Structure 1
């Protein structure tokens, strides 16, 4: 349980714009021009049960539209989505019970009710068995600390408290697939870490499949084993996070602090990119030489005080993906 498959998914929107007509009458002053825009343009991928996948893309890439089709909110123009072999559009009730959805900018909680009352309503909507409901609430309290919030009206919760409340609400019915859209947006470090621990925990203990849409790349780095990246409605990357980063950034940086300035620090398997006083920076290929061997060989030749290895910045790598992919076509006019 928890498998998701997207096949040749397309979502096209028709836009009607007005343009000046060539006739002299008022009726012909403006003539409509129809434009078809493909927000999602034929993407396919498969997510196995128990994966945590980062679903990324710049603003306007088609992420939200894809998530809405995967959760059944929108109908595809063509192509299909299957959750455990079921279509969210044709088998809505069965699929909804398998899905938990959290949108960082919106809430499924009832603004004027206490948090606990919101949960009671959701229990009735999903027809959650009493024992499962109690067990899930206990788990949410242990991990997210929501037990202390149950008597507080939702409108009085802080952003971090509301986000914890929303994640708990999405998990009350024990879904096999959890969609998280910006789950740590606007939160402080402590709240972010609590939510990340919870996501990792339910994935490990319950095998919950997690699809994470976020601009916070610390979320991606700490949680995701795989990336699916779209841009201009098209799939541009899909694979293990480490493999993608290794391909895009095959180098690591070694920062060396010497006991005293030494001119011409050199190693045949590394490139000296900068030297300032007693500090030297060397770049080396990950697959060319191990960091431990490079450090050992430099230590035999030079008086080293301190040394550190710098990994590529994931933010820079994701930016390169976004920047490097151009659309084949964005719109057709008719």
Structure 2
């Protein structure tokens, strides 16, 4: 499989920046033109912090391509995409419903050689339609669009939960300030986790050193751990007394009935069900390629003391 002559990254958030950083540092990147899609207003901004970010992105050998994923039409996006060999979507949070299917239709209309959609998360095929997080149904629609054609090559990279999410109090697993650690569903439930930086590294390897067998749905994980193991590692790292709680399915369903518009609670409900949120490390791209990623124990060591 050839090295792509050009790659367009959609979005310059934590993930998009991590992917761009890894691509720009990869030993095989020199023959690949790197670009990143940003709103025209962001590219032309006078805001000092945004100008600083733009300068940093350009320092990574990336050109800034104007476009608006939310407001541009399929035809407008396709006109941009068709100038690139590979399109990688790293923009998902906060976009209006229907945007991911629009982006996918644009990639197909453009006839790009390879498309990597915003599916950096769990295995939506296993989660299935009608989960507590209604946004996930759109992810299944994206998969259906890709599977219904064979003109555009594609890879869906299932990475599990971003490791930092474990420590968001609103997600519920670890509340460092409140010194609480919880299981979603039960202590023996498992979940796969990967840092954003490591997702970028694996994505860069897949894009710039493409190999057979990495088309379709593939899996990445820095670690696959049980909630019991998370509890053990957190207590070992920070010491002291911790409140231990189980948020089982019934409890979380009840909370969601009280707060039906709580987006984070919808995520928590899906993880409590436990379907499609964990896979064995032996099935991962990083294990097959021999790429060492940061596991939870190492991530905790790098965290500041409480």
Taking structure 1 as the reference length, what is the TM-score of the superposition?
0.30
Higher-helix-fraction structure: 2
* Bigger Rg, which one: 1
Higher-strand-fraction structure: 1
Taking structure 2 as the reference length, what is the TM-score of the superposition?
0.32
